[in-house]
Chain A
Amino acid sequence: GENVEQHPSTLSVQEGDSAVIKCTYSDSASNYFPWYKQELGKRPQLIIDIRSNVGEKKDQRIAVTLNKTAKHFSLHITETQPEDSAVYFCAGCGGSNYKLTFGKGTLLTVNP
Protein backbone atom coordinates (compact mmCIF):
# COMPACT_ATOMS: atom_id res chain seq x y z
CA GLY A 1 0.00 0.00 0.00
CA GLU A 2 0.86 3.68 -0.07
CA ASN A 3 3.34 5.12 2.41
CA VAL A 4 3.64 8.89 2.88
CA GLU A 5 6.57 10.43 4.74
CA GLN A 6 6.37 14.07 5.87
CA HIS A 7 9.16 16.41 7.00
CA PRO A 8 9.82 18.28 9.16
CA SER A 9 7.64 17.32 12.11
CA THR A 10 7.94 20.84 13.54
CA LEU A 11 8.80 24.13 11.84
CA SER A 12 9.17 27.55 13.39
CA VAL A 13 9.47 30.69 11.25
CA GLN A 14 9.32 34.43 11.70
CA GLU A 15 6.32 36.29 10.42
CA GLY A 16 6.88 37.24 6.80
CA ASP A 17 9.28 34.40 6.09
CA SER A 18 8.49 31.44 3.83
CA ALA A 19 7.74 27.92 5.04
CA VAL A 20 8.23 24.69 3.11
CA ILE A 21 6.94 21.26 4.08
CA LYS A 22 7.96 18.20 2.09
CA CYS A 23 6.35 14.80 1.55
CA THR A 24 7.40 11.68 -0.28
CA TYR A 25 5.16 8.83 -1.39
CA SER A 26 5.82 5.23 -2.38
CA ASP A 27 3.00 4.22 -4.74
CA SER A 28 3.67 5.34 -8.31
CA ALA A 29 -0.06 4.87 -9.04
CA SER A 30 -0.98 7.70 -6.65
CA ASN A 31 -2.47 10.58 -8.58
CA TYR A 32 -4.04 12.94 -6.04
CA PHE A 33 -2.16 14.88 -3.36
CA PRO A 34 -4.09 17.13 -0.97
CA TRP A 35 -2.83 19.29 1.88
CA TYR A 36 -4.92 19.81 5.02
CA LYS A 37 -4.55 22.46 7.70
CA GLN A 38 -5.72 21.72 11.23
CA GLU A 39 -5.89 24.61 13.67
CA LEU A 40 -5.90 23.89 17.39
CA GLY A 41 -9.16 22.25 18.43
CA LYS A 42 -10.61 22.27 14.92
CA ARG A 43 -11.17 19.81 12.11
CA PRO A 44 -8.63 19.31 9.29
CA GLN A 45 -9.57 21.45 6.30
CA LEU A 46 -8.40 21.14 2.71
CA ILE A 47 -6.26 24.12 1.71
CA ILE A 48 -4.89 23.02 -1.65
CA ASP A 49 -4.53 19.88 -3.73
CA ILE A 50 -2.75 18.77 -6.87
CA ARG A 51 -3.24 15.98 -9.35
CA SER A 52 -0.51 14.04 -11.08
CA ASN A 53 -1.05 15.69 -14.46
CA VAL A 54 0.04 19.05 -13.01
CA GLY A 55 3.48 20.04 -11.72
CA GLU A 56 2.55 23.11 -9.71
CA LYS A 57 -0.55 24.82 -8.37
CA LYS A 58 -0.83 28.14 -6.60
CA ASP A 59 -3.53 29.84 -4.55
CA GLN A 60 -2.56 33.25 -3.22
CA ARG A 61 0.20 32.69 -0.62
CA ILE A 62 0.23 28.91 -0.83
CA ALA A 63 1.55 26.69 -3.57
CA VAL A 64 2.15 22.99 -4.05
CA THR A 65 4.73 21.40 -6.34
CA LEU A 66 4.81 17.79 -7.48
CA ASN A 67 7.74 15.78 -8.83
CA LYS A 68 6.33 12.50 -10.08
CA THR A 69 9.71 11.08 -11.05
CA ALA A 70 11.12 11.56 -7.58
CA LYS A 71 7.74 10.85 -5.95
CA HIS A 72 7.71 13.90 -3.76
CA PHE A 73 5.53 16.97 -3.33
CA SER A 74 5.89 20.11 -1.27
CA LEU A 75 3.77 22.83 0.28
CA HIS A 76 5.11 26.37 0.08
CA ILE A 77 3.69 29.20 2.18
CA THR A 78 5.00 32.68 1.46
CA GLU A 79 4.73 35.80 3.62
CA THR A 80 3.68 33.73 6.62
CA GLN A 81 1.29 35.21 9.16
CA PRO A 82 0.51 34.15 12.75
CA GLU A 83 -2.82 32.70 11.57
CA ASP A 84 -0.87 30.22 9.44
CA SER A 85 0.18 28.53 12.70
CA ALA A 86 -1.37 25.03 12.64
CA VAL A 87 -0.65 21.38 11.96
CA TYR A 88 -0.38 20.62 8.24
CA PHE A 89 -0.97 17.16 6.82
CA CYS A 90 -0.06 15.94 3.35
CA ALA A 91 -1.73 12.90 1.81
CA GLY A 92 -1.58 10.66 -1.23
CA CYS A 93 -4.33 8.79 -3.00
CA GLY A 94 -4.09 6.69 -6.07
CA GLY A 95 -5.47 4.34 -8.64
CA SER A 96 -8.62 2.52 -7.70
CA ASN A 97 -7.97 3.04 -4.00
CA TYR A 98 -9.89 6.07 -2.77
CA LYS A 99 -8.37 6.03 0.68
CA LEU A 100 -6.08 8.91 1.52
CA THR A 101 -2.81 7.96 3.19
CA PHE A 102 -1.75 10.82 5.44
CA GLY A 103 1.69 11.95 6.52
CA LYS A 104 2.33 12.33 10.24
CA GLY A 105 1.85 16.08 10.18
CA THR A 106 3.98 19.20 10.59
CA LEU A 107 3.41 21.67 13.42
CA LEU A 108 4.06 25.11 11.94
CA THR A 109 4.55 28.01 14.32
CA VAL A 110 4.75 31.54 12.94
CA ASN A 111 6.30 33.91 15.44
CA PRO A 112 5.14 37.55 15.34
Chain B
Amino acid sequence: EADIYQTPRYLVIGTGKKITLECSQTMGHDKMYWYQQDPGMELHLIHYSYGVNSTEKGDLSSESTVSRIRTEHFPLTLESARPSHTSQYLCASQNSGANVLTFGAGSRLTVL
Protein backbone atom coordinates (compact mmCIF):
# COMPACT_ATOMS: atom_id res chain seq x y z
CA GLU B 1 0.00 0.00 0.00
CA ALA B 2 1.35 3.45 -0.91
CA ASP B 3 2.07 5.30 2.29
CA ILE B 4 4.72 7.07 4.31
CA TYR B 5 6.55 5.05 6.95
CA GLN B 6 8.49 6.20 9.99
CA THR B 7 10.76 4.19 12.27
CA PRO B 8 11.19 3.90 15.13
CA ARG B 9 7.74 4.82 16.43
CA TYR B 10 9.09 5.25 19.96
CA LEU B 11 12.66 5.80 21.13
CA VAL B 12 14.07 6.43 24.60
CA ILE B 13 17.77 7.25 24.71
CA GLY B 14 20.34 8.87 26.96
CA THR B 15 21.87 12.32 26.55
CA GLY B 16 24.72 12.53 24.06
CA LYS B 17 23.64 9.62 21.88
CA LYS B 18 23.43 9.88 18.11
CA ILE B 19 20.08 8.96 16.62
CA THR B 20 18.58 8.70 13.16
CA LEU B 21 14.85 8.79 12.53
CA GLU B 22 13.90 7.04 9.32
CA CYS B 23 11.24 8.16 6.86
CA SER B 24 10.32 6.46 3.61
CA GLN B 25 7.44 6.99 1.24
CA THR B 26 6.19 4.80 -1.57
CA MET B 27 3.97 7.38 -3.25
CA GLY B 28 6.56 8.76 -5.65
CA HIS B 29 6.40 12.23 -4.09
CA ASP B 30 9.35 14.52 -4.72
CA LYS B 31 8.73 16.88 -1.80
CA MET B 32 9.29 15.77 1.77
CA TYR B 33 9.15 17.53 5.14
CA TRP B 34 10.01 17.08 8.82
CA TYR B 35 7.85 18.66 11.51
CA GLN B 36 8.43 18.78 15.25
CA GLN B 37 5.32 18.66 17.42
CA ASP B 38 4.73 18.48 21.15
CA PRO B 39 1.46 16.58 21.92
CA GLY B 40 -1.57 18.48 20.63
CA MET B 41 0.50 21.54 19.89
CA GLU B 42 1.73 23.47 16.88
CA LEU B 43 3.37 21.83 13.89
CA HIS B 44 6.86 23.33 13.53
CA LEU B 45 8.61 22.83 10.17
CA ILE B 46 12.28 21.98 10.80
CA HIS B 47 13.49 20.65 7.42
CA TYR B 48 12.24 20.15 3.90
CA SER B 49 13.40 18.82 0.56
CA TYR B 50 12.08 19.44 -2.93
CA GLY B 51 14.05 16.59 -4.47
CA VAL B 52 17.19 14.48 -4.41
CA ASN B 53 20.25 16.34 -3.08
CA SER B 54 18.05 19.32 -2.11
CA THR B 55 17.51 20.14 1.58
CA GLU B 56 16.50 23.35 3.33
CA LYS B 57 16.04 24.43 6.92
CA GLY B 58 12.53 25.14 8.04
CA ASP B 59 10.94 27.88 10.10
CA LEU B 60 12.03 26.47 13.47
CA SER B 61 15.73 26.26 14.14
CA SER B 62 16.81 22.69 14.83
CA GLU B 63 20.11 21.04 15.70
CA SER B 64 19.12 18.05 13.57
CA THR B 65 20.31 17.42 10.02
CA VAL B 66 18.71 15.66 7.07
CA SER B 67 19.77 14.07 3.82
CA ARG B 68 17.99 13.19 0.58
CA ILE B 69 20.03 10.75 -1.43
CA ARG B 70 17.02 8.82 -2.75
CA THR B 71 13.62 10.18 -3.67
CA GLU B 72 11.77 7.88 -1.30
CA HIS B 73 14.03 8.30 1.75
CA PHE B 74 14.45 11.36 4.02
CA PRO B 75 16.20 10.49 7.30
CA LEU B 76 16.71 12.94 10.16
CA THR B 77 19.80 12.74 12.39
CA LEU B 78 20.66 14.17 15.79
CA GLU B 79 24.41 13.92 16.42
CA SER B 80 24.14 14.42 20.18
CA ALA B 81 20.69 14.16 21.68
CA ARG B 82 19.66 16.35 24.62
CA PRO B 83 16.52 16.40 26.82
CA SER B 84 15.37 19.52 24.93
CA HIS B 85 15.04 17.31 21.83
CA THR B 86 12.29 15.30 23.49
CA SER B 87 9.30 15.63 21.16
CA GLN B 88 7.35 13.96 18.38
CA TYR B 89 8.83 14.14 14.90
CA LEU B 90 6.43 13.87 11.97
CA CYS B 91 7.60 13.20 8.42
CA ALA B 92 5.39 14.20 5.49
CA SER B 93 5.45 14.04 1.72
CA GLN B 94 3.66 16.10 -0.86
CA ASN B 95 2.11 15.59 -4.24
CA SER B 96 3.36 18.63 -6.17
CA GLY B 97 0.48 18.74 -8.56
CA ALA B 98 -2.21 18.80 -5.89
CA ASN B 99 -0.23 20.27 -2.94
CA VAL B 100 -1.76 17.60 -0.70
CA LEU B 101 0.48 16.77 2.28
CA THR B 102 0.46 13.24 3.73
CA PHE B 103 1.90 12.61 7.19
CA GLY B 104 3.64 9.59 8.61
CA ALA B 105 2.62 8.15 11.99
CA GLY B 106 5.45 9.95 13.76
CA SER B 107 8.48 9.08 15.88
CA ARG B 108 8.18 9.93 19.55
CA LEU B 109 11.63 10.66 20.98
CA THR B 110 12.44 10.86 24.68
CA VAL B 111 15.93 11.90 25.73
CA LEU B 112 16.80 11.22 29.36
Binding site for B on A (CB under 8 A): 32, 34, 36, 38, 40, 42-46, 49, 87, 89, 91, 93, 98-100, 102, 104-105, 107
Option from A38, A44, A93, A102 in Cβ contact (under 8 Å) with B99: A93
Tell me if A43 and B106 are in contact (CB < 8 A).
yes
Contact count band on B: 20 to 34
Kindly list the 7 A-B residue pairs having the minimum CB-CB distance in the complex, ordered from nearest: A43-B103, A32-B99, A102-B43, A104-B42, A44-B103, A43-B105, A93-B99
Chain A residues near B45 (CB-CB < 8 A) = 99
Q: In whole Å, how far is A35's beta carbon from the nearest beta carbon of chain B?
A: 12
Residue ID in chain B nearest A49 by CB atoms: B100
Question: How long is the Cα–Cα vector from A102 to B45 in the complex, in angstroms?
Answer: 9
Chain A residues near B41 (CB-CB < 8 A) = 104-105
At the interface, is chain A mostly helix, strand, loop or mixed? strand
Q: Does B75 contact A (CB under 8 A)?
A: no
Residue ID in chain B nearest A44 by CB atoms: B103
Chain A residues near B100 (CB-CB < 8 A) = 34, 46, 49
